[in-house]
Chains A and B, each alone.
Chain A
Amino acid sequence: MRTTRLVVVGAAVAAALTSLAACGKDSTSAGSSGGDGKIAVTATDTECKVARADSSAGSVHFAVTNNGSKVTEFYVYGEGDRVMGEVENIAPGVTRELLVDLDAGSYQTACKPGMSGKGLRNAFTVTGAKKAADNASELSAATANYQRYIKSQTAALKDQTSAFVTAVKAGDIEKAKSLYPVARTYYERIEPVAEIFGELDPAIDAREADLEPGQEFTGFHKLEKDLWVAKDVSKSGQIADKLLADVQKIVDEANKAQLTPVQLANGAKELLDEVATGKITGEEDTFSHTDLWDFQANVEGSQAAVAALRPVIDQRDPTLGKTLDEKFAAVFAALHKHRQGDGWKLYTQLTQTDLKELTDTINALAEPISKVAATVATK
């Protein structure tokens, strides 16, 4: 957490929202073919089979079944990995659906077993009429696109925090430790939004070292300390309950919040600042050393915010978007050297050389990202 400069904006932008396209309803009846109009996606740990590679413009309905052993995610990407729609947190054996509005154009679908990396990609083509875009609609579409992202992330945040809290309260330390970085992933991806809500963010995410005199130590990092240092969660139930309640509140608030394009752009930069100041130094997860989970999540969140703005960026600065694509790819490439199993190396396993390389790639990305806000600012 950090002092916030974002403010909630009013209903004007909200009114411009197009319909929220993502839905994450659990479903037991997986549409296996196009008979019901749904495009079946069969995900395993190594494959991502999409029943069709094309569709006509308008609402496109996917049904994603996870036949693998890892939790997976399914994305539809536009240019520059702009997230058009996604379903998070698809557990093994579960089918979830995604409804997404797609204009004519070229897209990619991706399954992400283990919820990390570029994913298993397939081309997806949408044919038909292309809507004419104007400046105002591009800007409001950016906000709407990001709003969908918030919705999907907060849904997963709630589920994963709930699972984590359940494990803590059951006294299952090993399970709780494995769920801790996963739940945080969803929080870290949307941190600029979370930080809008002044009191909730510190309650959820304050680091012990940042507490003011008299401030109570609650939230993720208190439980982190209980799990990794005290190795005793017998008295952690109350903190766990409060964490889940606070997360529920922030989820509700976040889904009401609207960010302006400039706020989105600044959020993208601030997420990288978080990486540069908190994760590179190992200060975020000082007891568990799971900082690379947060690192990845911050960069993904930054990328999602930039991607939402991509059409506006491309309109106003034709080279900036491509530069950003390249620099994001370089960060992920540097980061993925430290992948370990379904997670990441611990901060304490990284060498000074590793940290320097990560710092260099973040600097290389953050400089062009710092130009996005002025680029998208209304002229």
Chain B
Amino acid sequence: MDRRKVLGLAGSGAVGAAAAGVVGATLVHGESTAQAAADISAAVPFYGRHQAGIVTPAQDRLHFVAFDVITNRRDDLVNLLKAWTVAAARMTAGQDAGTVGAVNGSLEAPPDDTGEAIGLPPSGLTLTIGFGPTLFRTADGKDRFGVAAKRPEALADLPRFPRDALEADISGGDLCIQACAHDPQVAVHAVRNLARIGFGVVSVRWSQLGFGRTSSTSKDQTTARNLFGFKDGTANLKAEETDLIRDWLWVSDGWMADGAYLVTRKVRMMIETWDRTSLGEQEMIIGRNKGEGAPLSGTKEFDEPDFTVTHNDGPAIALDSHVRLAHPTLHNGARLLRRGYNFVDGSDGLGRLNAGLFFMAYQRDPRKQFVPIQAMLAKVDAMNEYVRHVSSGLFACPGGVSGPGDYWGRALFG
């Protein structure tokens, strides 16, 4: 039943013990998340007040999938959400997707788990669900599931931003699932099995693989680099900043209580032109130096940017630099919990790397956080010459699943 018979050996301390816990045990996903960093093969608790995969220290790999719901029957959708929740609880604990398993069933029947994760530990897998605006009301105005009245105001369609080059067939979606893990095969296995369980009710609209987390969501993590070669996420909202998390991440009331809104943007980077840009210009564009990641007004990564410092008669941190334009002081203190990943989808047929950043940001209200920040960036950011937004998604990710009797979306559909 467990993919690995002796999970306990992989873990250490509390997390290892949790991973070896009995099937369906209620593992509480705590406010403090630093412990999982201790062992990347261990399980991250699935149940808890908040969904795992948001403040959980960002794992190294991503498989993100957006679905369209292809039935109009509410019961079918709710039953799928229940079935998904059971499978998600199993897979995040390092078990097969179904109760029979990949190799223990009838020879005449296809296995209820696809098998590629046999022998692999839980690998920190988290599965996080979100509901898109079109679940509440379709583009042509239909309230298919009787939830239109429950659409939160914060789930307002994103405006069109200047320079958006969005491709409809890799944007949006009625539902999303974010699978993060330290082993890409574990993340892909989870998405593949969930998609299979969903046949007939949902259809994969688009999906995205990511590697090399570009954000830290915990102070225990070092800041990783994006494909521009710069540290990304130095000023990210971190799990330990509990006051900021309360103010800028978790929704406090309604069916979305303890949840958060997710904005995804697939940002293609013009890698080749960036690479022939001088180091000085690259640093000017970002507003930080490339080696240390320090703001150009300071010397250390975590020095607070000082926009009053001048250099050669101009501001040290340029007026159109990314760091300045995205800074909370320009946006009423707005913060984002970013959870992006690098992507390389091979090459583009013209010999250029089809690569960039799959940006993901969790927040309490996109209208006060992502939207004003991106509106400013899209207008004047010097980086715009090197990036193109090709996909966009907006999802309401509800609070956590409390235990085995609960399911994804109960607050909305229950």
Contacts and interface: CB of A to CB of B under 8 A. Distances in A.
B108 A364 contact: no
A242 to B, nearest CB: 38
B49 interface: no
Nearest to A362: B199
B109 A363 contact: no
B109 A374 contact: yes
Contact of B108 (A363, A365, A377): A377
Contact of B199 (A262, A356, A367): A367
A184 interface: no
B106 A374 contact: yes
A371 B105 CA distance: 12
A67 to B, nearest CB: 40
A356 B203 contact: yes
Interface in B86-125: 105-106, 108-110
A360 B203 CA distance: 6
B322 to A, nearest CB: 36
A263 B289 CA distance: 67
A373 B199 contact: no
A371 B109 contact: yes
A327 interface: yes
A373 B196 contact: no
B110 A370 contact: yes
A377 B200 contact: no
A359 B199 CA distance: 10
A360 B70 contact: yes
Nearest to B196: A367
Interface in A323-364: 327, 330, 352, 356, 359-360, 363-364
B5 to A, nearest CB: 26
Contacts of A364: 70, 199-201
Q: State which size class the interface on B falls in.
A: 10 to 19
Nearest to B106: A374
Contact of A373 (B70, B108, B200, B203): B108
Contacts of B106: 374, 377
Contact of A363 (B105, B110, B200): B200
Nearest to B109: A374
B194 to A, nearest CB: 13
Interface residues of A, number: 17
B347 to A, nearest CB: 22
Interface string B173-212: 0000000000000000000000010011101000000000
Contacts of A377: 106, 108
A13 to B, nearest CB: 17
Main DSSP-derived SS at the B contact region? loop
Contacts of B203: 356, 359-360, 363
A262 B105 CA distance: 16
Interface string B261-274: 00000000000000
Nearest to A356: B203
A352 B203 CA distance: 14
Nearest to A371: B109
A360 B169 CA distance: 15
A352 B206 CA distance: 14
Nearest to B197: A367
Q: Which of B109, B196, B201 has the most CB of A within 10 A?
A: B109
Q: Which of B105, B196, B203 has the most CB of A within 10 A?
A: B203
A370 B201 CA distance: 17
A366 B200 CA distance: 10
A374 B107 CA distance: 8
A330 B106 CA distance: 29
B196 to A, nearest CB: 7
Contact of A327 (B108, B110, B196, B200): B200
Contacts of A374: 105-106, 108-109
B377 to A, nearest CB: 32
A308 B108 CA distance: 18
Contacts of A359: 203
A280 to B, nearest CB: 14
Nearest to B110: A370
Contacts of A371: 109-110
A279 B20 CA distance: 46
A330 B73 CA distance: 14
Q: Which of B105, B106, B108, B169 has the most CB of A within 10 A?
A: B108
B321 to A, nearest CB: 41
Interface string A100-123: 000000000000000000000000
Contacts of A352: 169
Contacts of A365: 200
Nearest to A326: B200
Nearest to A370: B110
A166 to B, nearest CB: 44
Contact of A367 (B105, B108, B169, B200): B200
A327 B169 CA distance: 25
A370 B106 CA distance: 12
B200 A262 contact: no
Contacts of A356: 203
A373 B108 CA distance: 6
A317 to B, nearest CB: 12
Nearest to A266: B108
A331 to B, nearest CB: 11
A373 B105 CA distance: 13
Nearest to B202: A360
Contacts of A370: 109-110
B70 A262 contact: no
Interface in B10-43: none
A359 B70 CA distance: 12
Interface of B: 70, 105-106, 108-110, 169, 196, 199-201, 203
Given A363-B200, A367-B200, A374-B109, 19 more contacts: A262-B108, A327-B200, A330-B200, A352-B169, A360-B70, A360-B203, A363-B203, A364-B70, A364-B200, A364-B201, A365-B200, A366-B199, A367-B196, A367-B199, A370-B110, A374-B105, A374-B106, A377-B106, A377-B108
17 contacts: A262-B108, A327-B200, A352-B169, A359-B203, A360-B200, A363-B200, A364-B201, A365-B200, A366-B199, A367-B196, A367-B200, A370-B110, A371-B109, A371-B110, A373-B109, A374-B109, A377-B108
The 8 closest A-B CB pairs, nearest first, are: A364-B200, A374-B109, A374-B108, A363-B199, A377-B108, A360-B203, A374-B106, A373-B108
